[in-house]
Structure 1
């Protein structure tokens, strides 16, 4: 028996045990980017787009770390963002923004937020899902997570969906902050 088959057989009991537990979306959560050069940068809102890093380093006049709440369930679930007021010492003018990723036909591949006043037919606003603590989008019955980031300034990275055309690097979005948050911008260690 090959090593691959043996390791697969050894994990089957764990997979079966894990299937017994429903993975629920938390009532309120933040998102953090992990990957090469990303040790848990928080996701923040700036000018209608999603970024990873330090909001105060952004050129936006209205940036803020986002706290999400789920709306709906299953593949109809949306994530609604509001400013995390415990992490910012300034007031922002946005609230109740809907997290969105571009469709295949969209020419703008940036991850963005929609307000009640804006609409965009080239984005997907439902199907957001956690497998464990990792963020995915359910598309065509599959879990997709082609999140990419592009550094746009010191400690600020624009978040993209399924695009490496400008040198974007892959990131994983998770709902748990880094274990050593003192060195991560926008994260309180208290």
Structure 2
């Protein structure tokens, strides 16, 4: 299993994502166009999570592969969140053939620019949050803070919206 922890908000990983294109409430999206996901929260103003390109697949499963010029140690893994009732809140990638019952690998979708998870009774959930890692400026992406006693949790919104600072890169004088 590959957890996002160490790569969250640092180097990007490519994710092939499938939004709920067949659901009328989901935003239309070119199924072949790549898109970037950013985290927004208190003190986190649009840090990149992962780069994504949409490919056809069933049941809103998102798959990932690293975006790197070096030889990757992983590829084509399935994105997951903890299943309802799981004690671990970590989000990550797992082998697509994994049958672990404590992980949810389906139901990911975009509603406009926001990343949601489809819940029961036609509901959408956005229970993303981050916790600081042992490395300054690096956070671990988590799901459903209920029962997580970690201090300094930051509630997040995951979006396709590019942060305004990315539009105007810093100018360095020589």
Same fold per superposition (TM over 0.5): yes
* Contact 2:26 2:109 survives alignment (8 Å): no
Relative contact order higher in (CA < 8 Å, ≥ 6 apart): 2
Task: Say if 1:22 and 1:134 are closer, same or farther in 2 by CA, change over 3 A.
Answer: closer
Aligned to 1:42: 48
Query: 1:116, CA displacement in angstroms?
Result: 3.5
Aligned to 1:84: 67
* Contact 1:71 1:78 survives alignment (8 Å): no
Task: Say if 1:160 and 1:70 are closer, same or farther in 2 by CA, change over 3 A.
Answer: farther
Q: 1:21 & 1:159 partners in 2: Cα distance?
A: 26
SS state at 2:117 partner: strand
- Large movers: runs of 4+ above 6 Å: none
Aligned to 2:52: 67
SS state at 1:31 partner: strand
Question: Structure 1 regions of 5+ residues with no counterpart?
Answer: 1-19, 44-64, 184-190
Query: 1:90, CA displacement in angstroms?
Result: 3.4
* Contact 1:29 1:67 survives alignment (8 Å): yes
Q: 1:94 & 1:158 partners in 2: Cα distance?
A: 19
Q: 2:93 & 2:26 partners in 1: Cα distance?
A: 28
* Contact 1:66 1:82 survives alignment (8 Å): no
Within a 5 Å distance, the mapping from 1:33-182 to structure 2 comes to: 33-43=39-49, 65-72=50-57, 76-85=59-68, 90-116=70-96, 118-140=98-120, 141-152=122-133, 153-163=135-145, 164-167=148-151, 168-181=153-166, 182=169
Aligned to 1:29: 35
Normalized per residue, which structure has more helix? 1
Q: Which protein is bigger by CA-based radius of gyration? A: 1
Q: How many pairs are equivalent?
A: 138
Task: Report the TM-score, using the length of structure 1 for normalisation.
Answer: 0.64
* Contact 1:149 1:158 survives alignment (8 Å): yes
Task: Say if 1:91 and 1:177 are closer, same or farther in 2 by CA, change over 3 A.
Answer: farther
Question: Structure 2 regions of 5+ residues with no counterpart?
Answer: 1-23
Q: Compute the RMSD of aligned alpha carbons.
A: 2.4
